[in-house]
Amino acid sequence: MNHLKDIVHRTPLQTSTSINEMTGKNIFFKMENQQKTGAFKVRGASYKISQLTQQEANRGVIAASAGNHAQGVALAASKRGIEAKIYMPEHTPEAKIRATKAYGATIMLTGESFQEAYQAALEDQEQNNSVFVHPFDDVDVMAGQGTIAVEMLEQNPDLDTLLVPIGGGGLISGVAVAAKSIKPDINVIGVQAKEASATYNRFYKKGASSLTQVKTIADGIAVKQPGMATFPIINQYVDEIVTVTEPDIASAMLYMLERNKSLVEGAGASAFAGLLAHGKHLNAQNVGIVVSGGNMDVSKMPTIQHLASNHKVRHLA
């Protein structure tokens, strides 16, 4: 993916002795919270925008996002000199709004969740004929996200299991296809917030696969339904999906901050939360965890501390 080299960082794959001892496994964190714009989303956005013809680029791009995709699209568009308009939910963290504006995009705050912002962006796109850059339901976006798995297996070819957050499914789709094309027997496990578990529900055929409401501290994966393009890929390439509670996610966020000195947002901590909540059932030795983003609104820290306060991290060894 030579198109990405000028924009995307090759992020580190880090391990932690204390976490290895606690879990009885070798745990490797892919630190996409250290990526440009603070999240993995710049990979998919950059690859998608790199594929646009000049005629398409001249029409400008439009996107909908809870924050991290917005920054990725805004940065990638600015690198090509393309106008970008981003629709974001009204409750998007202020830090993400400011950062997206800083890359030169026009921001439109609409609706209570991604789904409403997405609908408004589609209507705008139809009227103005700009190019829609979907946050997950696009094969070029998925391909860009898949570069994470390529890097992880270059950095540690012994990885036997990957834990990956799921929102709309673009990240895990790209990661699963890339990982299994390199190492077919690798185990790919998705992690969803219990309060936004549409993909989990559809994967296991239990519960609603289109939710009327989602409310989670992991705002980056607060998606009401799986993607049309991503779900068939998840169904084919992903081995298992687990869910995590709000206290699970909060505890993982605090653990990363206290032990690893890493600020990680809710979506970014969800895969690690999956390890802490379900690791004792995990038959694996070398586990890669995608830390998908670090754009946390620090004003929410008291809420995170409160959620985590009565939730002890389980010892998994």
pLDDT in tens, 28-54: 999 999 999 899 999 999 999 999 999
- pLDDT on residue 196: 93
The CATH number of residue 258's host domain is: 3.40.50.1100
Residue 317 lies in a domain: no
Q: How far apart are CA 48 and CA 203, in angstroms?
A: 27
pLDDT at 317 > cutoff 60: no
Structural domain includes residue 184: yes
Domain boundary among the residues 138, 172, 197 is at: 138
Single pTM value for the model: 0.91
In a domain, 273, yes or no: yes
Tokens (6 digits) for 316: 């998994």
Compute how many other C-beta atoms are within 10 angstroms of the C-beta atom of residue 261.
7
Tokens in use for 269?
A: 């901590």
The number of domains in the chain is: 2
CA distance 175 to 171: 6
Known active-site residue 96: no
Catalytic residue (choose from 30, 41, 96, 224): 41
255 is a domain residue: yes
Same domain, 10 and 52: no
Do 198 and 296 belong together in one domain? yes
Domain containing 105 equals 41-138
Tell whether 315 is covered by a domain: no
Same domain flag for 52 and 110:
yes
- Helix-helix angle 266-278:246-259, to 10 degrees: 100
Same domain? For 53 and 190 the reply is: no
Are both 171 and 69 inside the same structural domain? no
Do 186 and 280 share a domain, yes or no? yes
Q: Which residues in 150-176 are b (16+ Cβ under 10 Å) and which e?
A: bbbbebeeebbbbbbbbbbbbbbbbbb
Closest CA to 113 of 64, 73, 68, 69: 64
Q: Is 130 a catalytic residue?
A: no
Q: Residue 315 pLDDT > 50, yes or no?
A: no
Catalytic residue among 46, 50, 270, 292: 292
Strand partners, 107: 86
**Cα distance between residue 263 and residue 292, in whole Å:** 11
Let me know whether 295 and 191 are in one domain: yes
pLDDT in tens, 65-111: 877 899 999 999 999 999 999 999 898 878 778 889 999 999 999 99
Compute the distance between CA of residue 97 and CA of residue 20 in angstroms, rounded to an integer: 36
Q: Which of 138, 168, 190 is the last residue of a domain?
A: 138
